[in-house]
C-alpha cells in the first residue's frame, strides 16, 4: 500500500496477519485475546454495576440488565421449550452477549489507532478460531442436552421420521458447526474489510452508511448465532411421539 | 505491508488454526459460569420475585374486591330487610292502634247500650209493678166500696 500517493494510519489492510504469543509450546493469536478480554471486561463491568444494588423497583443499569435478561429468556424459551430452557439460558445468553459486544466493539471502537507490531486489533469474532470455538461449544451443548435429557433415546432423532434420514442427520452434525462458524466469521470479517477498503479508497463520508450497515449486521449475526444455538439444543431435547 | 494470505499459508492467513481455538472455548465456558453467577441467577431471582409479588398482589386485590362486593351486597340486603322491618312495625302499630280504637269504641258502645237497656228494663219493671200495685189498690178499693155498699144495705 505504500506505493499509493496518500497514506492514512487507519487505512491499512492487514488481513491474515496475527500477533503471535508463545504460551509454552502453544501459539495463540494475541490480538484476539486482547480484544476478547476487553469485551469480557466490559460485560463484567456492566453486569457488576447493574447487579450491585438490585431493587424491586429497578433503576439505572438494572433496567438494561433486566431487559437483556427478559430478551434472552424469551429467545431461549421459544427455541428450547418451557421444560429445560432454564438450564441453557446462561449459555445462550453468554453466546449472544459475547458475540454482540464483540461485533459492536469491533465496529464502533477505532482499534486501528492502536498500533501492534503485527496484525491489528478488531472484533474477536472476525477470527476463525473464535467462531469455530463457539460453534463447537454449541455442538457439544446440543449433544450433551440430548443425551442428558433423553439418554440413548437421543439417537432416535437420527432415524426420525424414517431411517432414510440417517445420512442427512449425520451430515447435519458437521454442517451445523461449519455453517454457524463461517456465517459469523464471514459476515464480521467481510464487514471489517468493506469498511477498511472504502476508507482506503474514499476516506470521507462514503464509509459511514456502510458502517451503519455493519452495526446492523453485527447485531443480526449475534441474534442469529444465539437463536440457532438455542434451536439446535431445542431440537435435541424435543420429544418425538 | 498488506498481505492477503488465504488458504495454504504457512505463516498466518485467514484460516490459521492454533491454540487460540481451545483457549477461546475455555474462556467462553468460564464466562458462561461467571455470567450465570453474576447476571442470570441474580437478575432472574429479582425478576421472578417481582413477577410473584405482582401475581400475589393482584390475587390479593381481587380477593379483597370480591370481599368488598360481598360485604356491600350483604349490607344492602341488611338495609333492605331493616327498611322492610321498620315498615312492618309502622303498619303493625297503625293496625294495632286502629284495632284498639275500634275495640274501645265497640266496648263503650256496648256498655252504653247495655246501661240504656237495663235502665229501660228497670223503668219498665217499675212501671209494671206500679201498675200492678195500682191495679191491686184499685181492686181493693173497689172491693171495699162494694163491701161497704153491700153492708149498708
Are A124 and B24 an interchain contact pair (Cβ–Cβ within 8 Å)? yes
CA dist., res. A171 & res. A168, Å (int): 5
Q: Which residues of A touch B29 (CB under 8 A)?
A: 137
Q: Which residues of B touch A23 (CB under 8 A)?
A: 19, 23
- Residue A176 has a pLDDT of 95
Are B24 and A36 an interchain contact pair (Cβ–Cβ within 8 Å)? yes
A201 in reach of chain B (CB within 8 A)? no
DSSP A82: T
Domain count, chain A: 1
Mutate one of A40, A66, A129 to test the B interface: name it (highest B CB count within 10 A).
Answer: A129
Q: Which helix (H) or strand (E) holds A121?
A: none
Are B4 and A28 an interchain contact pair (Cβ–Cβ within 8 Å)? no
Are A93 and B39 an interchain contact pair (Cβ–Cβ within 8 Å)? yes
Is A151 within the bounds of a domain?
Answer: yes
Average pLDDT of A182-188? 94
* Position A22 pLDDT exceeds 90: no
The C-alpha cell that represents A221 in the structure block: 449475526
- H helices of B1-40, in order, are 20-35
CA dist., res. A136 & res. B29, Å (int): 12
List the domain range (segments joined by +) for residue A84. Answer: 39-237
The C-alpha cell that represents B151 in the structure block: 153492708
Are A65 and B6 an interchain contact pair (Cβ–Cβ within 8 Å)? no
- Write the CA distances from A38 to B7, B20, B47, B70, integer angstroms: 29, 16, 28, 62
Is A11 within the bounds of a domain?
Answer: no
Is A57 within the bounds of a domain?
Answer: yes
Please tell me the distance in Å from B45's CA to the nearest CA on chain A.
Answer: 10
Provide CB contacts within 8 A for A97, sequence distance 6+. A43, A68, B35
- Residue B7 has a pLDDT of 41
CA dist., res. A62 & res. A54, Å (int): 7
Is A9 within the bounds of a domain?
Answer: no
Is A2 within the bounds of a domain?
Answer: no
Is A8 within the bounds of a domain?
Answer: no
The chain B residue lying nearest A36, using CA atoms, is B24
Beta-bridge partners for A27? A22
Average pLDDT of A158-162? 85
Q: Within 13 Å and on the Cβ side, how many CA atoms surround B60?
A: 6
The C-alpha cell that represents A131 in the structure block: 467462531
Is A47 within the bounds of a domain?
Answer: yes
Q: Per residue of chain B (153 residues), give pLDDT as tens.
A: 344 434 434 456 788 888 889 999 999 999 999 999 999 999 999 999 999 999 999 999 999 999 999 999 999 999 999 999 999 999 999 999 999 999 999 999 999 999 999 999 999 999 999 999 999 999 999 998 998 888 887
Digit-coded pLDDT (tens) for A89-122: 999 999 999 999 999 998 888 887 888 888 788 8
- Write the CA distances from A97 to A58, A65, B14, B148, integer angstroms: 21, 11, 24, 165
* Residues B111/B113/B118/B122 CA torsion (nearest 10 deg): 140
Least confident of A120-134, A196-210, B103-117: A196-210
A138 with A176: CB under 8 angstroms? yes
ipTM associated with this complex: 0.88
Mutate one of A14, A29, A200 to test the B interface: name it (highest B CB count within 10 A).
Answer: A29
- Residue B13 has a pLDDT of 77
Is A155 within the bounds of a domain?
Answer: yes
CA dist., res. A240 & res. A155, Å (int): 11
Amino acid at each position: 500500500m505504500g506505493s499509493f500517493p496518500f497514506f492514512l494510519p487507519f487505512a491499512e489492510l492487514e488481513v491474515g496477519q496475527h500477533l503471535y504469543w508463545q504460551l509454552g509450546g502453544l501459539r495463540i493469536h494475541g490480538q484476539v485475546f486482547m480484544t476478547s478480554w476487553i469485551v469480557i471486561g466490559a460485560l463484567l463491568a456492566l453486569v457488576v454495576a447493574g447487579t450491585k444494588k438490585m431493587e424491586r423497583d429497578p433503576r439505572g443499569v438494572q433496567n438494561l440488565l433486566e431487559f437483556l435478561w427478559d430478551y434472552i429468556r424469551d429467545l431461549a424459551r421459544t427455541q428450547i421449550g418451557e421444560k429445560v430452557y432454564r438450564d441453557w439460558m446462561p449459555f445462550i445468553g453468554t453466546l449472544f452477549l459475547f458475540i454482540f459486544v464483540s461485533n459492536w466493539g469491533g465496529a464502533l471502537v477505532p482499534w486501528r489507532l492502536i498500533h501492534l507490531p503485527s496484525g491489528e486489533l478488531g472484533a474477536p469474532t472476525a477470527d476463525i478460531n473464535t467462531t469455530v470455538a463457539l460453534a463447537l461449544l454449541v455442538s457439544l451443548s446440543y449433544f450433551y442436552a440430548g443425551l442428558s435429557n433423553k439418554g440413548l433415546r437421543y439417537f432416535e432423532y437420527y432415524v426420525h421420521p424414517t431411517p432414510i434420514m440417517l445420512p442427512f442427520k449425520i451430515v447435519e452434525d458437521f454442517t451445523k458447526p461449519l455453517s454457524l462458524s463461517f456465517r459469523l466469521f464471514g459476515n464480521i470479517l467481510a464487514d471489517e474489510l468493506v469498511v477498511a477498503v472504502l476508507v482506503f479508497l474514499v476516506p470521507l463520508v462514503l464509509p459511514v452508511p456502510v458502517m451503519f450497515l455493519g452495526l446492523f449486521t453485527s447485531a443480526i449475526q449475534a441474534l442469529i448465532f444465539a437463536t440457532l444455538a438455542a434451536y439446535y439444543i431445542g431440537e435435541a431435547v424435543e420429544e418425538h411421539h | 505491508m498488506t498481505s492477503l494470505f488465504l488458504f495454504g499459508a504457512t505463516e498466518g492467513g485467514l484460516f490459521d488454526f492454533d491454540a487460540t481455538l481451545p483457549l477461546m472455548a475455555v474462556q467462553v465456558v468460564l464466562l458462561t459460569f461467571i455470567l450465570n453467577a453474576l447476571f442470570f441467577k441474580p437478575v432472574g431471582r429479582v425478576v421472578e420475585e417481582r413477577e410473584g409479588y405482582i401475581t400475589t398482589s393482584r390475587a390479593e386485590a381481587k380477593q379483597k374486591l370480591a370481599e368488598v362486593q360481598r360485604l356491600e351486597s350483604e349490607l344492602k340486603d341488611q338495609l333492605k330487610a331493616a327498611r322492610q322491618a321498620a315498615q312492618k312495625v309502622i303498619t303493625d302499630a297503625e293496625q294495632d292502634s286502629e284495632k284498639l280504637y275500634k275495640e274501645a269504641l265497640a266496648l263503650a258502645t256496648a256498655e252504653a247500650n247495655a246501661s240504656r237497656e237495663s235502665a229501660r228494663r228497670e223503668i219498665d219493671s217499675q212501671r209494671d209493678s206500679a201498675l200492678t200495685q195500682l191495679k191491686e189498690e184499685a181492686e181493693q178499693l173497689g172491693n171495699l166500696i162494694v163491701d161497704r155498699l153491700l153492708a149498708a144495705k
